[in-house]
Structure 1
Amino acid sequence: MTTLLIPGYRGSENGHWQRQWLRDDPNAHLVEQDDWNAPTLSQWLHVLEARLAETPGAVLVAHSLGSILVAHLAGRPSAAHVAGALIVAPADVERMAAADKTFESFAPLPRQKLSFPAIVVASRDDPYMSFNKAKALSEVWGAGFVDLGNAGHINIDSGHGAWPEGHILAGSLVRPQHSGERAAA
């Protein structure tokens, strides 16, 4: 399974579970943005869509602002290349944009059903999105939902390094391929 790891604002620093995933999984690739500190939706979408064109059928594993990028991607033609998405600790860009214009281009939050299978993983004490809003968005998006309890922003600051459960969740998004053809006798 090819996995595209999509960090959020400022990227995922060394030690972050996405960086560890990248090191541990030879089929994982980081979607590297030109400037992690200046998020612009159109530019970030362009980079993500270019990576999808190179790796159709990939599973997207997104964190924070990267999760909202994936939600914005869902309404675009390139979403047809997505096998599934693990959306971890989505960021409330509406609230963030009201406080800081840096996030304006990502607002409002997409509120349409995702065009690919997805799972939202949220924490009850995430400072960047309320648990209830994350759960409501997962319902609007037609995504499964995982309550991680009190896990902060599911990053290094909240004690998350390696996250093997993430691999299991991402793997659950991919349906096994069955061939209707028989081998020649």
Structure 2
Amino acid sequence: MTNYFVVPGLGNSGPNHWQTYFEQQEPNFKRIEQREWDTPASADWIENIDQALSGYDLSTVVLIGHSLGVTAIANWAKHYKKRIKGALLVAPSDLEAPKYTFSTEGFDKVPLEKIDFKTIVVASENDEWVTLERAKYFADHWGSKFVNIGNAGHINTDSGFGEWKEGLEILKTLE
């Protein structure tokens, strides 16, 4: 059985977000809660990811990240160097873009080291937080499969992504 861990981005994912929809599908989906959602510290977030996975057979673990949660997963992979089954990385935010002015600690650059497990980056052609080119750049560095889903905004609730069946189908390709 695969154990899925949801890693939301800045501000957490609300009740109508696709990550919440995913969690409601199966009992083996769990959200990794963070102490601070609005002014996050990278060290805290990656430690929480690692603690959430303790006690699980890592070969059964799939992480599901959105936005800043994608960067947290990339930082976790870089710091802990553990191999899991895979990760779905949706709408990575470009932390180096001039528009990204959120108050975060340790989330100043997107790590570009190859990720040592199977990953899929899903991006949009009109995401306000990352250009398609930058998302592809991240995917190339991480060694990820890259999926462009067209004009889908930031692939969040505001962009109409609640019940995201296509996303669940993409997730299944990590099996």
TM-score (norm 1): 0.88
Aligned pair count? 172
Q: CA RMSD in A?
A: 1.5
* Structure 1 position 44, deviation (Å): 0.5
Structure 2 regions of 5+ residues with no counterpart? none
Structure 2 match to 1:86: 88
Deviates more, 1:147-156 or 1:103-112: 103-112
Q: CA deviation at 1:12?
A: 0.1
Alignment partner, residue 58 of structure 1: 61
Structure 1 unaligned blocks of 5 or more: 175-185
CA contact (8 A) 2:115 2:143 kept: yes
Contact 1:5–1:62 under 8 Å retained in 2 = yes
Over alpha carbons, which structure has the higher Rg?
1
Query: 1:14-93 alignment to 2 at 5 Å?
Result: 14-55=15-56, 56=58, 57-77=60-80, 79-80=82-83, 82-93=84-95
Give the TM-score, by structure 2 length: 0.92
Q: 1:98 to 1:125 in 2, by over 3 A?
A: closer
Relative to structure 1, the CA distance from residue 96 to residue 6 in structure 2 (aligned partners, 3 Å threshold; closer, same or farther) is farther
> Which stretch shows the higher mean deviation, 71-80 or 110-119?
71-80
Once the 2 structures are TM-superposed, how far is the Cα of residue 103 of structure 1 from its aligned partner? 2.8
Q: CA deviation at 1:96?
A: 6.0
Inter-partner Cα distance in structure 2 for 1:75 and 1:155: 26
Give the corresponding residue for 1:153: 154
> Per the alignment, do residues 78 and 137 of structure 1 end up closer, same or farther by CA in structure 2, a change over 3 Å counting?
closer
Q: CA deviation at 1:98?
A: 6.3
Deviation per residue, 1:66-125 (Å, 9 max, x gap): 001011112233522x2100000001112268634x134112110111111000000000
- Partners in 1 of 2:128 and 2:163 — Cα distance? 21
Give the share of equivalent positions with the same residue, in percent. Answer: 36
